[in-house]
Structure 1
């Protein structure tokens, strides 16, 4: 037991004894001496208690930090031992799960209902030391083959926050009122107000389901062994990541898709500037200045930009006659605090061919999205309900002895504050 705790208990005992003695109307000489001794001991214990608290402060902080992070560390370590191979074999042969995989599946089942075997999202991540390979590796050959090409995730790079929801809908009350302060005009005058404090609820609802079907042949199951785990995880992670990225930005809000922030800019209230012209540095500067003013941002480096590769190619090909640098380099300088090297992508500039629509029209037009995080609030929220539900189809490929599994995930997208996003559309890639 800590010394401070012992002293605290002793002080409590002294207070109880003093309360009994003080309640006597005519205490004896022995009782008076006892009260004096107890009072002296209490004052001494008080000084020692404060000293013990000071001495134990560092120890308490370390213990508190350990308690706060212990559960997260234990869960992360257990997640690192989750085996997709066990899930595939359980679906194919009915083999029982064991170890960390069984513990995680059991805990996920207790939190929500699943038709098949629940697989946590973290288990789909590529793990350190994995060989990049495509499909199912052939154990006869040691040469790696090239993975299927999937675009990298851009939602995280643009500041989107992924939120895990166990069940039901989740809402965020967002302040929509304009509460302002004002000076009193005179000694007896009133200050500004009163102003109504109003909020609007931004909801994420489990109404959109994302799925992928995979066929695993009998040869792959018998031939690959543990390598099957990495192959399944890579393909599922890449395919679902690419589709989630596309839906977060380009989801139509119809046909089972969530409403993406670019396709639904008008619905979310996001400012959309239709340039309808060939882009120049002056156009980008005007948008950045307007965006900074609307979000009270202190530096352009706090802005994230998302653009198509075609727009990067066009801007990189336009050389400023006076400065002898490209228009893209000037734009990168602007967002990177004048520290970007020619032709490089600062950390706050991302190119994508998946999350923005392909240029179209005559002349071809594309768009660019700007986002920022303000006051710790992400510009985009993506809700993921529970884990990935792995369901086995025992009939479709029964004749060939193969395994067909379906992975289902429920997700939704919303924008808390539309002022944290800005869309620049109608960017022409050639003169009219």
Structure 2
């Protein structure tokens, strides 16, 4: 029992005894002494009660913080032990899910509707290969499958914020007009005219669905435990590539979100026409524009992406009479370009994070919805898996992104 509760109960008993004694008109000396003793105990208990409340409040805060952190850590630990191979066997053969995999799937189902088996994004990360039982007759060794080669996320390198959204539309209000500073023209003059604060909103909606399909043969499921790593890496990379392409080139039609290049006019992004992308001067002009717009305070804060061919052209273009290339001039200012195959050959993108606000948001709704199709290729015993991701993309403020395009 808490000390505060025990003291409170004793205080109630003391008040009850005192009320009885105080009601007597002819109290005996013993009863008077008893009242004095109870009164002294009551005053002492008041001090002890306040001290107990303070101590227990600190314990409650610590316990509450521990409970909040514990739930997040426990779920992260479960996701670390999530086995995608169990999901594949469940979809193929109806095998029951068990352990951490079953707990994660149950938890995700309580947070959203899924036609198939929900798979957390974190479970698609590559992990060390599983071990198999020893002492089995093995005419040959089968190593872990070697996955396909995919580029790392361009969106992350360009500062695009990836946010996970449980459900519904999400908007970010952005201040577009506010305080105006002005000097007072005289001792009693006003300091300036008040200006109304104005905001604009950027919104993410669950209007776009991305699917990654994979066909598994019965042999692939039986051949090696490494099939889990292959499925995880392959599906994760395929989804990442498609999302990266949508961030840059999404048309806003045929189910795609509106990307940076096709949506430049919509997002208010400046597109600068240049003769070529083989000169530091072209990129320097955009960096200067960022500085003049107060979007950055140092050139190294700019993130720059262009195709590999542009990197080669910059490295090959030497300043007349020197061995210094245009790429060297760029590196001198602390700008490390990102090489992006997703960009068109005649485009480059520059972004900046302003006051902690990312230049764009990529919203991903919930988890990957993994759906099985055992019928389409049933004659050969193959299983078709489809991972569906609901996502949306939007830029925040046009001043945080600039695009170079060869005229």
Same fold (TM over 0.5): yes
The answer on 1:372 being equivalent to 2:352 is yes
Distance 1:109 1:60, change over 3 A: closer
CA 1:47–1:405 in structure 2 vs 1: closer, same or farther (change >3 Å)?
closer
Aligned to 1:400: 380
Q: Is contact 1:184-1:191 (8 Å) kept?
A: yes
CA RMSD between the two structures: 3.5
1:194 positional shift: 1.5
2:306 aligned residue: 307
Q: In structure 2, do the counterparts of structure 1 residues 402 and 189 end up closer, same or farther at CA, with 3 Å as the change threshold?
A: same
Question: Aligned-pair distance for 1:87?
Answer: 0.6
Q: Deviations over 1:141-161 (max 9, x none)?
A: 456665322221111111111
What's the offset of the Cα at 1:190? Answer: 1.4
Within a 5 Å distance, the mapping from 1:22-421 to structure 2 comes to 66-128=66-128, 140-141=140-141, 146-224=146-224, 226-277=225-276, 279-336=278-335, 346=336, 349-354=337-342, 356-357=343-344, 359=345, 366-421=346-401
Mean alpha-carbon deviation: is it higher for 145-154 or for 106-115? 145-154
Distance of aligned partners of 1:2 and 1:262 in 2 relative to their CA distance in 1, 3 Å threshold: farther
Tell me if the contact between 2:145 and 2:227 (Cα under 8 Å) persists in the aligned partners: no
Q: d(CA) in 1 for partners of 2:50 and 2:143?
A: 72
> Per-residue displacement from partner, 1:216-251 (whole Å, max 9, x unpaired)?
011112222x22211110110111111111111111
Task: Report the CA distance between 1:316 and its aligned residue.
Answer: 0.3
Native 8 Å contact 2:146 2:230 kept in 1:
no
Whether the 8 Å contact between 1:295 and 1:419 is mirrored in structure 2 is no
Structure having the higher Rg = 2
**2 CA distance for matches of 1:141 and 1:61?**
55
Q: Deviations over 1:378-422 (max 9, x none)?
A: 111011111111111121111111111111111100012221111
User: What is the CA distance between 1:64 and its match in structure 2?
Assistant: 7.2
1:139–1:223 contact (8 Å) kept in structure 2? no
Q: Which runs of 5+ in 2 are unaligned?
A: 23-31, 132-137
Q: Distance in 1 between matches of 2:377 and 2:310?
A: 45
Is 2:279–2:317's contact at 8 Å kept on the other side of the alignment? no
Distance 1:48 1:390, change over 3 A: closer
* TM-score, L = length of structure 1: 0.78
Residue in 2 that maps onto 1:340? none
* C-alpha contact 1:303 1:335 (8 A) present in aligned 2: no
The 3-state SS of whatever aligns with 1:155 is helix
- Which deviates more from structure 2 when the two are superposed, residues 387-396 or residues 139-148? 139-148
TM-score if structure 2 supplies the norm length?
Answer: 0.83
Query: Partners in 1 of 2:231 and 2:277 — Cα distance?
Result: 44
Q: CA deviation at 1:212?
A: 1.6
Label 1:304 to 1:68 Cα distance change in 2 as closer, same or farther (>3 A).
farther
User: Structure 1 residues 322, 44: closer, same or farther in 2, change over 3 A?
Assistant: farther
**Deviation digits for residues 282-333 of structure 1 (CA, Å, limit 9, x no counterpart):** 2222211111222442212211111110000000001113552110111122
Q: CA shift at 1:108, angstroms? A: 1.0
Whether the 8 Å CA contact 1:295–1:420 is kept in 2: the answer is no
Shift of 1:168: 1.5
